[in-house]
Amino acid sequence: MKSLENLWARGVEFLGSKHAILGGAMSWVSERNLVAAMSNAGAFGVIAASSMPPELLDAEIKATQALTQKPFGVNLIIMHPKLAELVEVCIANHVTHVVLAGGVPKGPTIARLKEGGAKVVCFAPTAALGKKLVKMGADALIIEGAEAGGHIGPVSTSVLAQEILPVIHDVPVFVAGGIGRGEAIVSYLEMGASGVQLGTRFVCAHECVAHENFKKAFINANARDAVASVQYHPDFPVIPVRAIANKASEAFMRFQKETVEKVFAGAQSKEEGQLAIEHFWAGALRKAVVDGDIEHGSLMAGQSVGMVQRTQSCQEIVDELVQQAAQYLSQ
């Protein structure tokens, strides 16, 4: 019988952490306090650079380094207009792992990070793209299913795992989306994953700076409350966002309808309309996480939110996940 240590040995070696539990990068949530606490608890925290300018990311990395001696990573959005500068900030601060999110990164970006001493982690929505990313130099992959919170793809975690884990062995693969208990962690490790990524489960950590209202919304929600946003019109594509349903979810549908009608009436160009729809959620997550407006802000959460039932320390959450996994393996 394999032990948990054996099952995720490759992921542990890659991350340099005690456990192969990668932190999901959540804008406004995955900052110095939560990231350091996760790493100190034996997991692997990841700063969400999101739309930060280079100087702000530099300060955040330094502040995190002051709170932990353990390794942690930085998640960069590849569409960021100052991506090249953010890459240099990570290299200058000797960040060990950089996660490139939000699309397919360019070869030179991966090459520069590796040249600067960082390990590069990329998201692979398909096996074919995963193989391409490995050829481009990715040191590890994350496969994230539709059960995850925030911007999501169309395929469930379990299907992605079946498609990708049997065919990609060159690099460690971490599974994400809908994972809230240790038993699920074991199931993906046994399928060939090297580790997992969790975000939603850590929102209600004591060390997380999210507003108490935001945390209460998570504790009170169940899995079916975390729904994907709906696209109103086929000519105006929307990348789905999974969040706990609230007034903002309803307002988004109304806003799409009104915007499409304006475009068709000639009051707005299609490009302006598309941009307006894309910008609707800008600031909405901050409104919920920082200001505590859980009605009009965005409550981005994965479907595992139903397993978040109380506030705990990061150490308690990590220990609970590991204990559940070990107990499951010993049966």
pLDDT mean over 8-22: 98
| Dihedral sign, Cα of residue 325, residue 130, residue 101, residue 221 | negative
Residue 298 pLDDT greater than 80, yes or no? yes
pLDDT over threshold 80, residue 142: yes
Residue 117: is its pLDDT beyond 70?
Answer: yes
In this structure, are residues 184 and 161 in contact, taking their beta carbons and an 8 Å threshold? no
Widest CA span of the chain, in angstroms? 67
Look at residue 280 in the predicted model and tell me its pLDDT.
85
- Summarised one tens digit per residue, pLDDT across range 162-177 is 999 999 999 999 999 9
* 25-56 pLDDT per residue, tens: 999 999 999 999 999 999 999 999 999 999 99
Residue 282 has pLDDT above 80, yes or no: no
Same domain, 84 and 152: yes
The side-by-side arrangement of strands in the sheet containing 173-176 is: 21-23, 195-198, 173-176, 140-144, 119-123, 97-101, 73-77, 46-48
When divided into structural domains, the chain yields a total of: 2
pLDDT tens for 169-200 read: 999 999 999 999 999 999 999 999 999 999 99
Same domain, 64 and 23: yes
- Tokens coding 78: 């590849």
Confidence of residue 238 (pLDDT cuts 50, 70, 90): confident
Q: Is 305 contained in some domain?
A: no
- Residue 212, domain member (yes or no): no
Mean pLDDT in the chain? 96
Do 166 and 272 lie in a common domain?
no
Q: What is the pLDDT of residues 256-279, one digit of tens each?
A: 999 999 999 999 999 999 988 888
User: CA-CA distance, 218 to 208, in Å (whole number)?
Assistant: 13
pLDDT at res. 168: 98
Residue 189 within any structural domain of the chain: yes
pLDDT at site 239: 85
Q: What angle do CA 110, 14, 90 make, to 5 degrees?
A: 40
Percent of the chain with pLDDT over 70: 100
Residues 163 and 249 in one domain: no
Percent of the chain at pLDDT exceeding 90: 94
Q: Is 213 inside a domain boundary?
A: no
Residue 234 lies in a domain: yes
Same domain, 275 and 315: no
Instruction: Identify the domain containing residue 292 by its residue range.
Output: 222-300
Is 211 a domain residue? no
pLDDT band (50, 70, 90) for residue 1 = low
pLDDT value of residue 307 = 97
The average pLDDT across 203-212 equals 98
Residue 289 has pLDDT above 80, yes or no: yes
Q: Look at residue 215 and tell me if it is in a domain.
A: no
The pLDDT score that the predictor gives to residue 84 is: 98
Q: Is 62 part of a structural domain of the chain? A: yes
Q: Are residues 178 and 241 in the same domain?
A: no
Same domain, 97 and 244: no
Same domain? For 152 and 230 the reply is no
